[in-house]
Amino acid sequence: MASTQETEMIREPAEEIQPIEDEVILRAEQIVKVYPGTTALNGVDFDVYRGKVNVLVGENGAGKSTLMKILAGVEQPTSGHIYLHGKEIFNRSIVEAGENGIGIISQEMMIFPNLSVTENLFIGREKKNGIVVSAKEQREETVRILNRMEQKINPDQLVGELRVGQQQIIEIARAISEKKQILIMDEPTSALSNQEVRVLFKLIRDLLAGGVTIIYISHKLEELMQIGDYVTVLRDGNKVACAKIKDIDLPWIIRCMIGDSMKDQITFAPREIGEELMRVEDMTLPRVGGGFAVDHVSFTVHKGEILGLYGLVGAGRTELFECLCGYAEDAIGDIYIRGKKIKDKRIDDRIRDGIILVPEDRQAEGLIPTMSVAGNIVLSSLKNYLKGFYLSSALEKQAVEEKIKEINIKVADPDELVTSLSGGNQQKVVVSRALLTHPTILLLDEPTRGIDVGAKAEIFQIVNDLAAQGYGIIFVSTELKEVITVSDRILVMSKGKITGDFMKENATEEALVTASAIGHRLEGGQYA
């Protein structure tokens, strides 16, 4: 750490930490990107240091992903210059960027669900014997890459059949296999388990040793402090700070990110927990190949209660949500809403009964990318805007404007495509749509995935306000501190079973982790 005097100097967000002596391999100068009604980047300078992990942070909408897309050739800047080894380059496409040695692992995964793992890894760069694709050679290389990543994934399996975390692994594996000199990682751990993150960090260190330079974006600030060498902070499309990570701390980063709008620590006013809203009895979901993804689970949710659901990846949390909202057709068990047994299993029936899901994967399951922000927000509640046999555009517009203001969605025009928003603002759109159905029970599956500290506070405040109004809230999160902070009660799952039920006052990190590891212990005190 720096001396006391140095530390005081670097706590001023506008100050860059000097001197920086490492070689700059890539330099972006005065990058401007203007969309209709929005300036995403306002003259941003960004230096990338050779053989280092160059961290880029900022709140949602700060311009991080936009800058990375420009460096990777996905988008073009309105103005500005990019220099590689001191020579100006023009990355007019992702192919041209690749030829310049720049690759990207995108925040929004670019996988092909109907192709196998092997086909995804080699699409566009197939190994050939003459004009014939060598399927055997590609498969063998895929096995080697997956073994390096400590993954037991069938190379012949369709990627669309994998869970989100495994799909993220395939995206990372493909990028690593391309052997770029500069690799951009945009939220690479958002869907990974702790074990998978450990493996990724080991791979990153191996890549650095092999001469690869990393640009790394993540909202998990503790993670950045562990893996990063340099940090650059963006705010509202502007670069506000740059420093060596060894010279700063987390509070410094957060102050730079948020500035004068820094949110206070989340605190909730006391809420009254009322009568039972939902009762689940003996919910069971058979697993293909034997066993149970959800193993005879029973619990209750009460009026005004925020019920957290915690467990390791693969514990059955997401599958339980699929049972509750009607996604899992093979589910067995009973659900009661306000004492009345639900008979229909269709998703639209469950929504009508008052159960709605905010899914983990907003791209695949939460959004219609070809629709506008407004269209996505009202999609599940169109019946509320009927006047006779016609939809009232005035009522739709009013509902959209209210939700945009309430949830603080950063959008210049609600008629813009939802894909024009940052990842965090896209998530807010999904949450808004769910809230407009006026649910009795709101299911939140990793609602803060890819969301910055400010947006997290906003979402959880909204959740708390809904609970205060009498709604029942259940949410899944792999962020243990979030679960403990927000929940009134916490259920812990392991291998499809409920292995712990804790009131807030008894929910220590040690107790929850211990309960989540039940059934995972192996010889030697290790965990699966």
pLDDT tens, position by position, 447-465: 877 666 667 777 788 788 8
Q: Which two tokens stand for residue 107?
A: 């925040």
Task: Work out the pLDDT band at 261, boundaries 50, 70, 90.
Answer: very low
Note whether residue 239 is domain-resident.
Answer: yes
Residue 266 in domain:
no
Do residue 249 and residue 198 come from a single domain?
Answer: yes
Together in a domain, 200 and 343: no
Do residues 44 and 67 touch, judged by C-beta distance below 8 A? yes
Q: Which of 209, 233, 260 is the last residue of a domain?
A: 260
464 plus 510 within the same structural domain? yes
Q: Is residue 240 part of a domain?
A: yes
Candidates 118, 145, 157; CA nearest to 134 is 118
Give the containing element (helix H, strand E) for 62.
none
Same domain, 12 and 52: yes
Q: What is the mean pLDDT of residues 467-492?
A: 89
How many domains does the chain contain in total? Answer: 2
Percent pLDDT > 70 in the chain is: 90
Whether the pLDDT of residue 422 is over 70: the answer is yes
Residue of 470, 448, 436, 458 whose CA lies nearest to 306 = 470
pLDDT score of 266: 61
| pLDDT for 488 | 94
Domain that holds residue 228: 4-101+184-260
97 and 17 part of one domain: yes
Answer yes or no: is pLDDT of 172 > 60.
yes
Mean pLDDT, residues 178-205? 86
Closest CA to 243 of 22, 5, 4: 22
* Same-domain pairing of 29 and 86: yes
Domain termination site, one of 205, 235, 260 = 260
170 inside domain: no
Instruction: Work out the average pLDDT over 364-380.
Output: 88
Do 199 and 343 belong to one domain?
no
233 in any annotated domain: yes
Q: Which of 232, 260, 288 is the last residue of a domain?
A: 260
Q: Give the model's pLDDT for residue 424.
A: 76
Per-residue pLDDT of 278-323, as tens digits, reads 999 999 999 876 778 899 999 999 999 999 999 876 788 989 999 9
**283 and 223, same structural domain?**
no
- Domain co-membership, 65 together with 192: yes
Closest CA to 396 of 418, 380, 416: 380
Are 476 and 330 within one domain? yes
Mean pLDDT over 40-56 rounds to 96
- Is residue 344, in this structure, part of any structural domain at all? yes
How sure is the predictor about 99, in pLDDT bands with cuts at 50, 70 and 90?
A: very high
Distance (Å, whole) CA 200 – CA 237: 29
Task: Round to whole Å and give the CA distance between 8 and 446.
Answer: 37
On average, the pLDDT of the chain sits at 85
Between 185 and 515, the higher pLDDT residue: 185
CATH of the domain at 310: 3.40.50.300
What percentage of the chain carries pLDDT values higher than 90? 43
Residues 9 and 93 in one domain: yes
- HEC assignment per residue over 92-117: CCHHHHHHCCEEEECCCCCCCCCCEH
In a domain, 76, yes or no: yes
Tell me: do 88 and 194 sit in the same domain: yes
Q: Half-sphere exposure of 462 toward its Cβ, with a 13 Å CA cutoff?
A: 23
Task: Output 474 or 206, whichever has higher pLDDT.
Answer: 474
Is residue 131 a part of any domain in this protein? no
